[in-house]
Amino acid sequence: MQNIVVVGGCGFIGANFIHLVLRERPDIAILNLDALTYAGNLANLEDVSSNPRLRFCRVDIGDRAALEKALENETFSAVVNFAAETHVDRSILGPDAFVRTNILGTSHLLDIVRKRQGIRLLQVSTDEVYGSLGDDGAFTEQTPIQPSSPYSASKASADLLVQAYHHTFGLDAVITRCSNNYGPYQFPEKLIPLMIINARSGKPLPVYGSGGNVRDWIHVEDHCRGVLVALERGRSGEVYNFGGAAERRNIDIVHAIADRLCGNRDLVRFVQDRPGHDWRYAMDFQKAATQLDWAPRYAFDAGLQATMDWYIANEAWWQAVLNQEYRDYYERLYGKR
């Protein structure tokens, strides 16, 4: 049995990754470390909670002593780091938690891992570190880092630390950078789940600016498969881009959700734009295709339908996260728009 540590496994992508590994890699056992922030949810792993190949420890990677203690008696061959503060709008409201978790927390992980032998660290990063594109072109792994938001700046900082640990200490590290994910268990602050639950609840659908901004959407399972093969076959010190080959304007996604869930577009509202809003992201993932034999499997329209079906079938899951913290955040962000 191979033991791996998944950090941030109670969030959207981390939980989907754990489901995938438990399903498809019977020889891997997982220790899941997560601080259970507002975005971390044990319900995301409820159906696998009794699996003997999965253990959980609540720990904050910003707390170095607690992290050391959680790992001191553990033997493992890899760490996959999903843990982060992840929402751009929250980073604009207040960057401190982003600096602490995304930079300091990653630095703690790196320092603990490098003092042991034979451990691979996979850092889950984002296309947002490359900044914004105009109407043409796509990010490659050679595109210079040029982050726009406090969130993406903190993720870029973490990437630089990972590369520095590889260069300076020979740490076996791989970085993956992915475009916008969608799918089950995504916290309803991000575009697609927010629009789905607002449409289901008869609430306004707030579209920033003109709605013309473009994202490249990837189903979370495709991203998780990419992380897994990069962990297993990625070359040490390398960066791998993943994308969904599904560029869409925000307004077209919101219309698709409104058409399906409301039958009309009456709830769509154009609201004040996000400060510093990146215009467009697009990923060139030829390197992952060539070196890792990876390609996205989901077609966007089918994946979006399946995601809407999941939220309809799992209303209890999302109703449970619409707590006071969520309502306060919602009022703070959207109240003034």
The answer to whether residue 281 is catalytic is no
Number of residues this chain uses to bind ligand NAD (CB under 6 A): 29
126 binds ligand NAD (CB under 6 A): yes
Q: How far is the CB of 70 from ligand DAU (least distance, A)?
A: 24
Q: Which residues pair with 172 in a beta bridge?
A: 120
Of the candidates 4, 5, 12, 199, which one interacts with ligand NAD according to CB under 6 A?
Answer: 12
Catalytic, 185? Answer: no
Question: Which does residue 208 touch among ligand NAD, ligand DAU, none (CB within 5 to 8 A, set by kind)?
Answer: ligand DAU
Active site residue 329: no
196: CB partners within 8 A, 6+ apart: 188, 257, 261, 307, 308, 311
CB of 207 to ligand DAU, least distance (A): 5
For ligand DAU, the closer of residues 108 and 215 by Cβ is 215
Q: For the beta carbon of residue 154, count every other beta carbon within 10 angstroms.
A: 25
**Degrees to nearest 5, angle at CA 108 with 167 and 44:** 115
Beta strand ranges found along the chain (DSSP E): 2-7, 28-34, 54-58, 78-81, 120-126, 172-178, 180-182, 205-208, 214-219, 239-242, 247-249, 268-271
Q: DSSP string covering 175-198, please? A: EEEE-EEESTT--TTSHHHHHHHH
If the CB atoms of residues 91 and 267 are measured against ligand NAD, the closer one turns out to be 91
Stretch that binds ligand NAD, among 175-183, 201-209, 288-296, 321-329 (CB under 6 A): 175-183
Pairing of strands 247-249, 239-242: unpaired
Closest to ligand NAD by CB, 154 vs 267, is 154
In the complex, the residues that contact ligand NAD under the rule CB under 6 A are 8, 10-14, 34-37, 39-40, 60-62, 82-86, 101, 105, 124, 126, 155, 178, 180-181, 187
